[in-house]
Structure 1
Amino acid sequence: MIAMQYSFTLPADYDMSIIDRRIRDKGPLLDGFPNLGFKAYLSARKEEFGSRDNLYAPFYLWRKPEGASDFLCSPTFQTLAGAFGWPQVRTWIIWQAEVSADIAAARFATRDILHMQPYAPLADIRRADSAQTETEIATGEALASVCGFEPTTWTRVRFSLWRELPEIGAETQAYRVGHLSLARP
């Protein structure tokens, strides 16, 4: 599995209803895309949930890396890049991903990107992050929870989908979920 996210920072006076409309109209196009676990169509408005910017920032969980490659080579992504520019696409190797049967009820998302100290004990960090991911789902707190790492910049990602936005820290980026594209059973 692999997680992927790109983000477009939009001007402070950008009409975010354009993004809402884009999500509504284009969101269903990826429903059932091959090798997709889920795609969360995410947006944040400046100063909402502490966001510093207006953002359009989809997050993907791919069952196989080929899914990410196929999407990035697709006409759908080409159209997106034509409209907003060619984004930096971040990817993370999955340590743990848990998805509840109620994922379709997600209305909010949170994402933390955490830097690792040089020579940090990766096995211990993976074990702790994976346990947190499992707990969020087992207790019913989150509807999906993903943790992983990226060994070029030595960063970790913690991403969760929620019915209601939980209390968040200053470094957490929160989003509204406009649409969820899910794998076909």
Structure 2
Amino acid sequence: MLAMQYSFTLPADYDMTIIERRIADNGHLLDGYPGLIFKTYLYAIQNDGLTASDENLYAPFYLWQDAASLNSFLLSPGFAAVSRAFGRPEVKIYPVLSVALSPDIRQAKFACRKIEPIRPYSSLSSLGEPVKIGEELARLVAWDPQNWQLIGLSLWKILPQEVASTSQNYQIGHISLPKN
């Protein structure tokens, strides 16, 4: 599995209802996309009181079954449209170490992404230990072996304050999942 995220930082005076409307109009287009485990349409509104974000962001986060599925999307007309609208982003791709998904993942309204450095010369053997979910509806741990970082993503129905203060937080406009 591979995690993927790109992010657009938008001006402070950007009308974020444009992003919300774009997600509402187009989010369903990736529902059932081959090889997609999930896509969260993430956004944060500067100083909105919900995500404690310092910036306006549009930052979708994907979980792919494999590289072929990820490549299929990046080479697609859908990604070309995003690039035309906002510019071609730096796409970050991470091998996934562990993931746990609740059957109620559709109920998630918030996401928390935390990036932590991997200590130099620390043992890497424990990085792949399975994650478990408690109150969160999904939890994923991936890593960036180029920059020696762990990337954690958790999805929540209600954003817990103790988690929110230590991560980049987003609202979820839509979650695309496989068709059943």
TM-score, normalised by the number of residues in structure 1: 0.92
* Equivalent in the alignment of 2:168: 173
Give the aligned CA root-mean-square deviation in angstroms: 1.2
Report the secondary structure of 1:15's partner residue.
Answer: coil
Q: Where in structure 2 are there 5+ consecutive unaligned residues?
A: none
Cα distance between partner residues in 2 of 1:71 and 1:162: 26
CA displacement at 1:169 relative to structure 2: 5.0
* Equivalent in the alignment of 1:154: 148
- Aligned pairs, how many? 177
Cα distance between partner residues in 1 of 2:166 and 2:7: 16
Report the secondary structure of 2:147's partner residue.
Answer: coil
Q: Map Cα deviations across residues 108-147 of structure 1 (whole Å, 9 max, x no partner).
A: 11000111122221112333xx3xx31xx2x3x1111100
Asked if structure 2 preserves the Cα contact closer than 8 Å seen for 1:92 and 1:156, the reply is no
TM-score, normalised by the number of residues in structure 2: 0.94
CA displacement at 1:59 relative to structure 2: 0.4
* Equivalent in the alignment of 1:15: 15
Asked if structure 2 preserves the Cα contact closer than 8 Å seen for 1:113 and 1:157, the reply is yes
* Equivalent in the alignment of 2:177: 182
Q: Where in structure 1 are there 5+ consecutive unaligned residues?
A: none
Cα distance between partner residues in 2 of 1:181 and 1:124: 31
Asked if structure 1 preserves the Cα contact closer than 8 Å seen for 2:10 and 2:56, the reply is yes
